[in-house]
Amino acid sequence: MASFKKPDLHSFQGRAQIAIIFVTVCFLILLTRLVWLQIINHSKYSTLAENNRIAIVPAPAMRGLLIDRNGIVIGRNYSALTLDVNVSEIQGNVDQLVDDLSEIIAISPRDRRNFKRSLEDARNMGTFPLRSMLNEVETARFMANRYRFPGVEISSRNFREYPYNELASHMIGYIGRVSQKDKERMQSEMNSPTESEDGNELKNAFLPGIQYVGKIGIEQSYEHVLRGVPGYDQVEITAGGKPIRTLSSFPSKPGKNVILSVDIKLQYLVEQLYGNFRGAFVAIEPATGDILAFVSKPNFNPNDFVEGIDSVTWKELNESKSKPLYNRPLKGLYSPASTYKPFMALAALELNMRSPSQTINDPGFFTLGTHTFRDEKRAGHGIVDMEKSIVESCDTYYYLLARDMGVNAMHDFMKPLGFGQRTGIDLEGEVAGILPSTAWKKTAFKKTEQQKWFEGETISLGIGQGYNSFSILQVAHALANVVNDGVVMKPNLVNAIEDPFTRQQNLITPKESYRINLKRENIEVIKKAMVATNQTGTSARSFKDAPFTSGGKTGTSQVFSLNSKEYNHASTPEFLRDHALFITFAPAEKPTIVIALVVENAGFGGQHAAPIARKALDFYINGKWPKEIPEWKRAP
């Protein structure tokens, strides 16, 4: 007969307690997780859930206009038809869709690259342009085949346009598609505690709505003003990304207009006068620092860059010997040559090293040790005082002056005038140039034997050669500082910021940087000598019968060392020929305009640079237009 063991109640109760403890721990874990998700991290996961339900559709802002001092629009927007693809409605492969569309509408490799980049940046959500600026034939062809391409539409979009093409391109700059570097910079601006001109509006801007930004020129330096504040729509979507309804809308705010100090007609005239020559030209209003013309030749068409420049055009621009992408007034460095002599003469007066009547006897050369420095006039200029040294451009006078003054005294006098210093103009990328001194040479060269300053190096500085290396902007700025009686005004390209709706202008007040303690009588000596230069001196032919009184100084800058050989312009390779320079101011009684220019590899300054300045002054002062230059035509 079988026997049964009596159940162990104590053992059963133990197992039950273990099970209860296990279930309780699991419940507490679930409860803790629930508290963590629903209370502590509620905001985070609520936002994630909401983002899965709501899509943000950016609305780019209309970019502000660029307008010259006389109200002429030189940077504007226009509306054109684009082929847009709504990725969320596309069924199948996007690349295949593009291939199918290319059978009825021309889609370039550049269009494909830009489209793919937009998709990657936005994680394949939203509507993106595939082809811009469709013509009537292309539009009709797509509409006839529209049923084949669900999710593809034709819409109207705004584009940037520079109606005068190459004109003033280095000054205006251009816009281009936002790069990753641009995004990081803008994000940094928005997170910065420093308020911009737009204040909190910039911080609240919606980055995906900023599709284009200024890359160079005014478009870049005034980007925060021109781009406005993008808007956006909050759209409810399905799990598949299909829009259901618009929940809210935040309209964009257009950018402000930028009113420039530049006279675009004067700019056009000067660019035409240069013809096929290369060079730089800067005109400044001394009393305000307003830039009246900012010319860099050759230039380029900024419209080519807006939607992404094609490889052929880029190669032509980038590999050209003429360097059309090089901003010469801002970055080009030149020896000032004889245009430096009026500043040297002023230094001699201010430092009590020469008087206006003090003379030298010029035999046509100056010898230091075993080296002979020759004058341009081989027979010499005879008896030379300060005025004659400027009018006839006597090198020997300034060889002697440089020796007596020394490199450091020259440096200390020229630095406040602006030589070898950034002017602070409202463009990015300005170079400082070289104003030599003994201290400069010690830092510029690595080898000890190269760091020593030799007296012979000082002599060439007196005639604007040697290590002297300045931008044309700096030379114009320095002359403006002198004729403005030592009052230094910061050069500026923008006069005002204009509200696009009210047309109310917020004027940008000219900024006085500092004052140089110059004696008025010394300035008048230099101005008088420069006036005589335009009347009887090296630039007299260009200023014959001028209806106004002006002062000037020519210069011819060596591009390479002759090593005591005779210079022959015709037999010298083009890019090794001398540069032609000229500086001028007018009217002499109270200058309203100062000009500095260089015509690269042209030769004598009086022959090739002075005539450009004369015709520019004729127009600016008297409104006279040269017969040989096509008349200015306002863009439609």
Helix (H, G, I), strand (E, B) or coil at 195: coil
A 10 A CB-CB count for 247 gives: 12
Residue 58: cis peptide before it, omega within 30 degrees of 0: no
Measure the CA–CA gap between 615 and 134, rounded to whole angstroms. Answer: 43
Q: Which residues contact 88 (CB under 8 A, 6 or more apart)?
A: 125, 126, 151, 237, 240, 241, 242, 243
Is 355 marked active-site? no
Q: Which residues have CB under 8 Å from 131's CB, separation 6+?
A: 82, 83, 105, 106, 107, 111, 138
* 3-class state of residue 535 by DSSP: helix
Residue with token string 């090739």: 608
Q: Alpha-carbon distance 418 to 491, whole Å? A: 11
Cα distance between residue 213 and residue 479, in whole Å: 35
Length of the chain: 636
In 3D, which of 104, 77, 250 has the Cα closest to residue 175?
77
Determine which helix (DSSP H) or strand (DSSP E) holds 34, and give its type and residue range.
Answer: helix 9-35
With H, G, I as helix, E, B as strand and everything else as coil, classify residue 341.
helix
Closest CA to 364 of 386, 351, 352, 379: 379
Orientation angle between helical segments 341-350 and 520-536, nearest 10 degrees: 150
Half-sphere exposure of residue 144: CA atoms within 13 angstroms, side-chain side? 8
Distance between CA atoms of residues 632 and 172, nearest Å = 19
Assess contact for 310 and 336: CB atoms under 8 A: no
Helix locations, 36-77, DSSP H: 42-53
Locate 139 and state its tokens. 């539009």
Residues near 381 by Cβ (< 8 Å), separated by ≥ 6? 362, 364, 375, 388, 389, 392, 394, 396, 397
The one catalytic residue in 118, 338, 393, 539 is 338
Contact (CB, 8 A) for 358 and 386: yes
Q: What are phi and psi of 554, to 5 degrees?
A: -90, 165
Contact 250, 231 (CB under 8 A): yes
528 Cβ contact list (under 8 Å, min separation 6): 387
Cα 343 from Cα 341, distance rounded (Å) = 5
Token pair, residue 311, equals 């490889």
Measured CA to CA, the distance from residue 306 to residue 169 in angstroms comes to 13
Catalytic annotation, residues = 338
